[in-house]
A and B are shown apart, each in its own frame.
Chain A
Amino acid sequence: MSLASTNPKRPSGALRLPSALRGERGLLIALVLFVGALSILPLGRLAYAALFPKGDFDAGRIIDILGNRRILEATLNTIYISVAATLVATVVGTMAALLTTLSDMRARTLWIFGFVLPLMIPPQVTALAWIQAFSPASPVLGPLGLALAPGMRHPLYSMGGIIFLLGLYNAPLVFLSVRASLYRVPSSVVEAAQAQGARGFALTRDIILPLARGGIFAGAALAFVSSIGNFGIQAMLGIPARVSTLITLIYQRLNSYGPSALNDMALLALLLAVLTVIGMTITAWLGRRGDSRVDTTRRPARRSLGRWRLPVEGAAWLYLAICLALPLSALLCTALVRGVGQPLTLDTVTFENFANALFHHEGIREAFGTSMMLTLGTVAVLIPVAVALGYVLSWRPGWIAKALNIASELAYALPGIIIGVAMILFFLRPLPFIGTALYGTIWVIFAAYLSNFLALALRPILGGYAQIERSLDDAAQLAGAGIFARLRDVVLPSLAPSVMAAAILVFITAVNEIQTSVLLVSSRAQTIGPMIIFLEEAGSATLAAAVGCLMVALVLTLMILSLIFGKRLPEGVLPWRD
């Protein structure tokens, strides 16, 4: 394994290869090496370390570890929290999708933007914002006289609080999935039901929801995967509340014991992976026979809410006010004062925290720089890889393509902390040929990002491929163009909007990334995502809030830019666009 393997797919390099490796065969080999080195081998190494720590299988040890009271408790908590949060997310997300696709609600575009926005904000920032909103010294609820009395237990530092926040955080995932399947409900079947006299609630319950069932359960599966692997919220709320989950347990043990706990933590990570896969399988089974007929010609007409319009709109906007405006304004208020709990007045307002975050605090500045470098590097490598992989998946299907897709999807769906543990295990020992270990350097974080986000880059690009006629590529091949000339001259120009969307999605997600980085950061390599947790743990809540505000501002800017430049994108590529 050499460093070059993280970056193997340069056309210029491929041209120098022997003829057997040139062209499409060379491309496929490069893709197999890339996905193999970054997804399959580390995950394999993790499973090996978990099950065969000293080279042989020891059932007694596994029972010992998994039977431990604290681990058992964390496992049960994990299951309970993810299932409950999935239920919350499914109910909220489905209702939002029904409202925005089927009703004549006004200002829908803006509402959808606001509803999907939380998904793009790093979860640790969301958690911090909610903590500030409900704290006894709440800068928003305080002046309204609604803040909790000092000394009362913070309501979010509890199992219920974690479920509540995870549910709200993941509701947009369900929303997107349900909305996509509602768009596919043929208008004729809805009209047929109306002709039979069904209306309003009955129509929704008997016709529309059953037809959208596939989308609802697909969304629920996404919400489950995202809940079980959400480190930001589980750590920010769960650690102070002493509600331990598998993910926080792995983090805490690795933090306190270091690499000596690796084999045991590998086992816990494997357990977490198994729970994730079981959850996904059960939801997929529940949503089986999901109707997937495609009728893009005509969508069901939006139905008038009649006299309910104003109350429903009011409730929808109140939801956004509570779930978005309340925590974010609290975060901003905290960032604008000198110390937590200080009331925000003209006298106390200060931009010191922002100035510190942006210019003076060396750690933050370096972390931000590192994050930017990693993120841009990730985008720069993953986009060409995803374009090439998308080509193979779309137009050269076969078992190799399928296996590559599953491996990249798995690396994306599994909680990031599992990838983190896998990367530590994989890169702990010195690399052959180079002689130094990557562990503790930014290269291991880079490898984790590449592994984790390949599927994320791939999805919009696959959507783009679906819109290109394959014969365009066939025609170019007949004209004599090799694979790289075709990708450059024919595929890329048609794919450009989807490539932009993929780049933005990967950028936002990677800049926000916390779970893998939190395990892999070291004194030499800090990223911005975990910074908020470290600042909050160190008692600099106002500085943490300022960093959080800046991250939200960055994400918001990118989302708005993408809306301005993304007019030609295929539908559904940018989740925040109606």
Chain B
Amino acid sequence: MSDIRLDTLGKNFGSTRVLQDVSMSIEAGEFVAVLGPSGCGKTTLLRCLAGFERLTEGSIAIGGSTVSTPKRHTPPEDRGIGVVFQNYALWPHMTVAQNVSYGLKIAGIAKSDRDARVAKVLDTVELGPLANRRPADLSGGQRQRVALARCLAMESRVVLLDEPLANLDVHLRGTLEEEFARFHKRSGATMFYITHDQSEALALADRVAVMDKGRILQFAAPRQLYAEPANETVAGFIGEGTVTGVRNLCPMGGGRAQGELLGHIAPLRCAANQTALPRARITFHPGDLHMVPDQHGIEAHVIRATYRGAFLRTEVMAGPNADIPFTLNIPAPASLTQGQRISIALRDGWVLPEAA
């Protein structure tokens, strides 16, 4: 049993509100990512979950038993969770094997059992030959595997990961992301992954919680987060979303709708209960805008076109006063000059649910 229930968490540091009304329900074995800019409270959320911080409000239950309320607090060592810290927190004066076996030693497991278990775990993460090395002699990827091996050895059913890839270079990240996915598959543990990198979150997690200013803005599967953001902040945060206004929004049933963007009808998606509105806010990604033959779309002029290999990232200004910025990707080869006038059309967009 390793499901996690967060119920209306609140956390203050002095008079500063760091977490507010955070509720999440995570299934056993699920891989959840928490995504947000630095300072949004995501690390505090992890520390509350791990038991390093006490709650101001709300409660946390792991595997059905309540571990945190403002009054009751199970210490971290009694929660049966593993944490992979940002810098991996390997004890520099211990060897790889000692790092992995320390928790077993504290638990009073006999040396022979301990050694057998450590050897097995190190083999699983392919670190057997390095058992007697010290952390300083390991590469970044090997250190991460030691940190994971520590969680494996303790048979943690819940593993929290605190921006484990933040300090690594881009090449290593891809490899290590796979490592996490493999670890998740093999251990079946519930994973709770903190990051500020949306590509990491979208690639790894079953569900992603977007956090800002201590609140959870949306908690959904990556695909839904990208295609159907709950509000403007999420829309702007995920996949370079653009938010703009449309007129005469008219739902057409089956989650389809259409509206007028700068005088041109655009096909849109919307929530099932969306009502017709004279004005609404929609969001779309650069890939949803296309260049069309002149006079058939929204008039715009090019501010800047940047060569990005497969496409030209093009920033344009549209609207009667030429003051509404859009970004679109125009497939290469193409050549655009600054000031050039083009026509664009929106092929897809998402109607943001009215803020209650």
Tell me whether A480 and B93 are in contact in the complex, defined as CB-CB below 8 angstroms, given that A471-B85, A471-B86 are known contacts: no
**Cβ-defined contact, A475 with B107, below 8 A:** no
**Cβ-defined contact, A477 with B76, below 8 A:** yes
A485 to B103, CA, bound (A): 11
Q: Does A437 contact B (CB under 8 A)?
A: no
What distance in Å separates the Cβ of B65 from its nearest Cβ neighbour in chain A? 18
Q: Which residues of A have CB within 8 Å of B52?
A: 474, 477
- C-beta contact mask, B65-108 vs A, less than 8 Å → 1, else 0? 00000000001110001110111011111000000001100110
A457 to B117, CA, bound (A): 42
- C-beta contact mask, A474-517 vs B, less than 8 Å → 1, else 0? 11111111100100011001100000000000000000000000
Tell me whether A489 and B102 are in contact in the complex, defined as CB-CB below 8 angstroms, given that A475-B89, A477-B77 are known contacts: yes
Q: Which residues of A have CB within 8 Å of B75?
A: 477
**Cβ-defined contact, A474 with B83, below 8 A:** yes
Q: Which residues of A have CB within 8 Å of B107?
A: 480
Which of B81, B86, B106 has the largest count of A CB atoms less than 10 A from its CB?
B106
A251 to B52, CA, bound (A): 51
Which of A476, A482, A494 has the largest count of B CB atoms less than 10 A from its CB?
A476
**Cβ-defined contact, B103 with A479, below 8 A:** yes
Which residue of B is nearest A492, CB measured? B93
**Cβ-defined contact, A481 with B77, below 8 A:** yes
* Majority secondary structure, A binding face: helix
Q: Does A56 contact B (CB under 8 A)?
A: no
A476 to B92, CA, bound (A): 12
**Cβ-defined contact, B106 with A472, below 8 A:** no
Tell me whether A480 and B89 are in contact in the complex, defined as CB-CB below 8 angstroms, given that A474-B52, A474-B76 are known contacts: no
Q: Which residues of A have CB within 8 Å of B91?
A: 472, 475-476, 489-490, 493
Q: Which residues of A have CB within 8 Å of B89?
A: 469, 471-472, 474-475
What distance in Å separates the Cβ of B198 from its nearest Cβ neighbour in chain A? 24
Q: Which residues of A have CB within 8 Å of B92?
A: 472, 494
A469 to B87, CA, bound (A): 9
Q: Which residues of A have CB within 8 Å of B83?
A: 474-475, 478
Q: Which of A471, A474, A480 contacts B103, CB < 8 Å? A: A480
Tell me whether A479 and B102 are in contact in the complex, defined as CB-CB below 8 angstroms, given that A471-B86, A474-B76 are known contacts: yes
Q: Which residues of B have CB within 8 Å of A478?
A: 50, 76-77, 81-83, 103
Q: Which residues of B have CB within 8 Å of A489?
A: 91, 102
**Cβ-defined contact, B93 with A479, below 8 A:** no
**Cβ-defined contact, A479 with B154, below 8 A:** yes
Which of A474, A477, A478 has the largest count of B CB atoms less than 10 A from its CB?
A478
- C-beta contact mask, B321-333 vs A, less than 8 Å → 1, else 0? 0000000000000
120-158 of chain B: CB within 8 A of chain A? 150, 154
Which residue of A is nearest B98, CB measured? A489
A493 to B99, CA, bound (A): 14
Which residue of A is nearest B107, CB measured? A480
Q: Which residues of B have CB within 8 Å of A479?
A: 77, 102-103, 106, 150, 154
**Cβ-defined contact, A475 with B150, below 8 A:** yes
Which residue of B is nearest A489, CB measured? B102
Which residue of B is nearest A490, CB measured? B91
Q: Which residues of A have CB within 8 Å of B103?
A: 478-481
A472 to B102, CA, bound (A): 12
User: In the complex, how many residues of chain B place their beta carbon closer than 8 angstroms to a beta carbon of chain A?
Assistant: 22
Q: Which residues of B have CB within 8 Å of A481?
A: 77, 102-103, 106
Q: Which residues of A have CB within 8 Å of B81?
A: 478
Q: Which residues of B have CB within 8 Å of A469?
A: 85, 87, 89
48-72 of chain B: CB within 8 A of chain A? 50, 52
**Cβ-defined contact, A493 with B85, below 8 A:** no
A471 to B162, CA, bound (A): 11
What distance in Å separates the Cβ of B316 from its nearest Cβ neighbour in chain A? 39
Q: Which residues of A have CB within 8 Å of B150?
A: 475, 479
What distance in Å separates the Cβ of A477 from its nearest Cβ neighbour in chain B? 5
A493 to B86, CA, bound (A): 22
A481 to B106, CA, bound (A): 6
What distance in Å separates the Cβ of A493 from its nearest Cβ neighbour in chain B? 4
Which of A479, A480, A490 has the largest count of B CB atoms less than 10 A from its CB?
A479
Which residue of A is nearest B104, CB measured? A479
Q: Which residues of B have CB within 8 Å of A490?
A: 91
A450 to B159, CA, bound (A): 44
What distance in Å separates the Cβ of B309 from its nearest Cβ neighbour in chain A? 34
What distance in Å separates the Cβ of A484 from its nearest Cβ neighbour in chain B? 11
A482 to B106, CA, bound (A): 9
Q: Which residues of B have CB within 8 Å of A472?
A: 89-92
Tell me whether A494 and B93 are in contact in the complex, defined as CB-CB below 8 angstroms, given that A471-B85, A480-B107 are known contacts: yes
Q: Which of B77, B87, B102, B106 contacts A471, CB < 8 Å? A: B87
A471 to B87, CA, bound (A): 8
- C-beta contact mask, A409-440 vs B, less than 8 Å → 1, else 0? 00000000000000000000000000000000
**Cβ-defined contact, A485 with B85, below 8 A:** no
A481 to B99, CA, bound (A): 13
Q: Which residues of A have CB within 8 Å of B86?
A: 471
What distance in Å separates the Cβ of A486 from its nearest Cβ neighbour in chain B? 9
- C-beta contact mask, A454-475 vs B, less than 8 Å → 1, else 0? 0000000000000001011011
A472 to B52, CA, bound (A): 13
A477 to B91, CA, bound (A): 12
A494 to B86, CA, bound (A): 19
A469 to B135, CA, bound (A): 14
Q: Which residues of A have CB within 8 Å of B76?
A: 474, 477-478
Which residue of B is nearest A481, CB measured? B106
Tell me whether A475 and B85 are in contact in the complex, defined as CB-CB below 8 angstroms, given that A480-B103, A490-B91 are known contacts: yes
What distance in Å separates the Cβ of B96 from its nearest Cβ neighbour in chain A? 14
**Cβ-defined contact, B106 with A485, below 8 A:** yes
What distance in Å separates the Cβ of B73 from its nearest Cβ neighbour in chain A? 12
Q: Which residues of B have CB within 8 Å of A471?
A: 85-87, 89
**Cβ-defined contact, A480 with B106, below 8 A:** yes
What distance in Å separates the Cβ of B151 from its nearest Cβ neighbour in chain A? 9
Q: Which residues of B have CB within 8 Å of A475?
A: 83, 85, 89, 91, 150
What distance in Å separates the Cβ of A48 from its nearest Cβ neighbour in chain B? 34
What distance in Å separates the Cβ of A474 from its nearest Cβ neighbour in chain B? 6
What distance in Å separates the Cβ of A547 from its nearest Cβ neighbour in chain B? 42
Q: Which residues of B have CB within 8 Å of A493?
A: 91, 93
What distance in Å separates the Cβ of B250 from its nearest Cβ neighbour in chain A? 54
What distance in Å separates the Cβ of A466 from its nearest Cβ neighbour in chain B? 15
Which residue of A is nearest B156, CB measured? A478
A296 to B50, CA, bound (A): 33
List 20 additional A-B contacts (Cβ < 8 Å) besides A469-B87, A471-B86, A479-B103: A469-B89, A471-B85, A472-B90, A472-B92, A476-B102, A477-B75, A478-B76, A478-B77, A478-B82, A479-B77, A479-B106, A480-B77, A480-B106, A480-B107, A481-B103, A481-B106, A482-B77, A489-B102, A494-B92, A494-B93
What are 8 A-B pairs with beta-carbon distances under 8 A? Answer: A472-B91, A472-B92, A475-B85, A477-B52, A478-B83, A480-B103, A482-B77, A489-B102
Report B's interface with A, CB cutoff 8 A: 50, 52, 75-77, 81-83, 85-87, 89-93, 102-103, 106-107, 150, 154
- List the 10 closest pairs (A to B, CB-CB), nearest first: A479-B103, A471-B89, A471-B85, A475-B89, A493-B93, A480-B77, A480-B106, A481-B106, A472-B89, A477-B76
